Amino acid sequence: MAALAATAPGAEYRAFHERFIADSLPEDLHYLRRSERYRLESLLPGARTLLLFAYPYRFPGVEKKLRRARYKIARYAWQKDYHELLKRKLGKLLVEFSLSGRAVTDSAPFAERYWARRAGLGKIGRSGMLMDAQFGSYFLIATLVLTDALKTPPPPQAADPASDIASLCGECRLCVEACPTGALNGDSTMDAARCISFRTIESRADVASLPPPIRRHNWIFGCDICQQVCPWNKSVFAAEEFNAEHPLADQLAQGVLPESRSKLRGSVFHRRGVTKLQQNIAAVGIAASGK
C-alpha cells in the first residue's frame, strides 16, 4: 500500500495522455478521452488522500492450467471479476478504519497507473507496464479516494518514463521483440490498435476480419506475451490464499463456451459476452489453418 495527497495530475501526465489520445487511440477506446481523469473532484468532491494498493494475480495453479490450455487467456482474467472483488475488499477497509471515501478500480476515469507510480508502487517499464520488485508487472491497482486528510509521506521525486526504463530495463528489449503484432514502441508507448489485448477484449471488430499479423496468435482474451518474457516476472508468484479463481476461465481455455451471457456473470468475460468470445476462438482457428 502507498499513500499520497490528492492533487491534480502533473503536467507531464496530461501531456503524455493527450499525445496518446491524439496519435493512436482507436475509436473503441474513446472513453479514455474523458477529461474527468484530470480532476479528482469529479470522482469524489472533497478528495484529500489517495490510498493505493497492489493486488498480485499470478498463481502457480493457474500456470499449470495455462500450460495445458488449448487457448490462452490473460492471467488476470482467471480471477473472479476484479472490479467487484477489489471494491469489496476496499469497502471493508473503509468500514474497518472508519474512513470516508470511494473505492476505485479501472472502471472509473482515474489515472491509476500514474498515481501508483507517483506514490512509489513501481516504475514504468519499456512495455508501458508498471513494475514492482516483488510482483513484477503481475498486479492490479486498486485505490481508495478519501475525503479524510491522512498524514502522507512526501511522494518520491518525479522521473520521466525514460529514466524508469533506463533503471529497470537497461538495454533489454525482450518485450518489444516478443510482441507478435509489433504493438510496442519500446519507449513505454504502444500502438493500441495492434495490441492483442485490445483486439480480443475492447475492440468491437471481429478479429477474423483483421490482417493476418494481428490475428495469428493463440490468445482469445487478453495477452501476457510482453509480461511472460520480462526478466522481472521470471519467478514472481502470488500466495495461493489470495486466489479467487473463476471456474469459467478453465472451461473457456479449453474452448467450451456457456450457452448464454448470464453464465459469464462474476467474471471479466461478462462485459464482452459470448459472441465476442466465439469470434475470438473462431479467429484462432482460421489463423491456425493458414487462412
Residue 27, pLDDT above cutoff 90: no
**pLDDT given for residue 16 in this prediction:** 72
DSSP symbols for 221-257:
E---HHHHT-GGGTT----GGG--B-HHHHHHHTT--
Quick check: helix, strand or coil at residue 22?
Answer: helix
**pLDDT given for residue 32 in this prediction:** 65
Tell me the whole-structure pTM to 2 decimals.
Answer: 0.88
**pLDDT given for residue 290 in this prediction:** 47
**pLDDT given for residue 247 in this prediction:** 87
**pLDDT given for residue 226 in this prediction:** 96
The pLDDT-based confidence of 289 (bands split at 50, 70, 90) is very low
Alpha helices in 48-201, H assignment, sequence order: 60-68, 82-96, 112-119, 161-168, 174-178, 196-197
| Interval 232-281: pLDDT, tens | 999 889 877 677 889 899 999 999 999 899 999 999 999 889 999 999 89
Name the amino acid, one letter, at 203.
S
| Interval 102-154: pLDDT, tens | 999 888 888 888 889 988 899 999 999 999 888 899 999 999 999 999 988 88
Q: Which of 28, 106, 148, 206 is catalytic?
A: 106
| Interval 28-67: pLDDT, tens | 666 666 666 667 888 899 999 999 999 999 999 999 999 9
- Mean per-residue pLDDT, 73-89: 93
- Rg (C-alpha) for the chain, rounded Å, is 19
**pLDDT given for residue 37 in this prediction:** 65
Active site residue 106: yes
List the grid coordinates of 261: 451471457
**pLDDT given for residue 11 in this prediction:** 74
Instruction: Tell me what the pLDDT averaged over the chain comes to.
Output: 86
Percent of the chain at pLDDT > 90 equals: 54
**pLDDT given for residue 287 in this prediction:** 47
- Please tell me which residue, 158 or 13, carries the higher pLDDT value: 13
DSSP class of 158: P
Per-residue b or e along 118-137, where b marks 16 or more CB atoms closer than 10 Å to that residue's CB:
bbebbbbbbbbbbbbeebbb
- In angstroms, rounded to a whole number, what is the distance separating the alpha carbons of residues 171 and 249? 36
- Please tell me which residue, 71 or 209, carries the higher pLDDT value: 71
**pLDDT given for residue 208 in this prediction:** 67
**pLDDT given for residue 14 in this prediction:** 72
**CB of 270 closer than 8 Å to CB of 264:** yes
**CB of 238 closer than 8 Å to CB of 82:** no
**pLDDT given for residue 206 in this prediction:** 74
**pLDDT given for residue 212 in this prediction:** 65
Quick check: helix, strand or coil at residue 47?
Answer: coil
**pLDDT given for residue 256 in this prediction:** 94
CA 153 to chain CA centroid, nearest Å: 27
